Structure 1
């Protein structure tokens, strides 16, 4: 045992002495940490992005917009809305419907109502007496004038609307004056007036003219010579002849002779045949009418209408016929009035007999029936 040498295990000594491998590993970790902490080091591979956009509903649906884009979009939308409002205001100011107050008579009692009409409506036909001035005088006892109420009443009756008289459009109708500028509109207007039953409408306006001049309606204004009332009465009486000449068509073109006359901007002579003669107004001395078939047929209708001396055309026809013949040649139209038809007595069955050369024979036939 004395000669045996006992030695300690060298494992502890080796564990207590660090190896070069551990030293190198520690040095590498410190270097990586130093590099990661420097400002020039690489960015992290994954980053967190916060979306600050908000949803906004536009004309194309919902979209995500940033606060700045959203503010720009709101400003643009506001400018668009302001622009639309300005355009609406301009259009409403230029094409603003005209509101008129009228009186509708029901069971003899007037009730006030308001109607709205647009002058620019392309589909609307011209309105009768839409420019008739007020200026009606009061009654004898200071009572309200009944004439405006009566006018409004008959303008709204079904009979008047069905007849749609051309004669009452020729005066005091601004919408008809505007319609004459368009061949399409004036043709539509004539189509409407020519669709009426002329026989029934002639009877209607004969009775209406009688009621119109009654003192209970517009008789006082007619007696005082109020121009608008006198002209309206003349238009009622002239319904039949103006209906006939207004519905006369050119044989070559099938267009209305009246439409051709008002559409002729170089000469107003033909227009005067319709707007002046039937209302006891002579042709201007300087006017020149066209020597065509429309003029000839129009004057033929007027000449036949003069048989009723109550028609205003009987007072202006002869002078106009002579003036036309000076331009178109002798005999182009008849220069004398038609034989007068005199209402003398009523035959059996309540028929009125008109005594003319041919009427005498017809009167006898009526009496024998």
Structure 2
């Protein structure tokens, strides 16, 4: 049990270090402009600048200069479908350039703007604080502590966690969640200790009720962390609660020496977890598209969009594989169509409505799906050399595509 709960803690660190996505950029009218229109408008701006220069040096008369300005502004009006003044044209192109620069930031550059160095230090220090306090207590107070009944320790551990969680409310809003986070993480150790103390009684309870202990603890952590996230309006703690929810549904990260296995605890939970992640993803994508503001739910948006998409596409990759086992050919074909449509839809929706995490995850898993289908081709032993050559060419071309369009892939920088 201790190893499983330690797995949760390490999984949280891994997934948070992978990516906590940024909120998407606000939409403006500049999205309707094509690259061709922008180039033509830029040429018109330069022409207007040239006319102003020639008029100031006396090369063009005032009447001729005004006639030329009218000509160029008429062309600009045709492109924009509305009248525009020279100053407005300059401001429009300047704002478009700024928006374009923001949209072309890579995924890791987006992360740098949200998951800052300070936040990394904060999260790491919270973990180290819990470990260091436990270590020092074991070193210097162990003889005395052995004389105290274990039940007293259990009460103290939960009391300390509760004090940290509740006590954060006494601090300013910028500091409060820093105080509450160690208490939230400390609950993992508290549950582990309770499992150790009451393992016989709990084992009997699990067998009689047929409840999976791993799912039960994940649900408990989700309920507590979600409540704390709402109380502190903390996006980080909300992200942790979404991870706990996905863990409760069946998603898991197995940690072994030098290895991490990301997937599902059991085969039978894959369809259920994939479907639940899809519903979670659809709900929050709908809120993004409609720009709906629901109290207490917005803080879960980052975690729901990232984890929902991540778990959903992992589930589709497994379900659509021919090695998963399909008794019905049409069932297998339907899953292929669903996976392709989901990947294309994620890229399209993420691009149009500027949902970076959906766009990056959709593109990455669509690429992994294509690799999976490549290896599902009926290669024979004598054709493995050709298969390897084809894979090398495919990966080489893919690396070029990733460099050209980094916004559609995770870890592209």
TM-score category (smaller protein): under 0.3
Pick the structure with greater CA Rg.
1
Larger % of strand: which? 1
More helix by share: 2
What TM-score results when the alignment is normalised by the length of structure 1?
0.25
Structure showing greater relative contact order (alpha-carbon pairs closer than 8 Å, 6 or more residues apart): 2
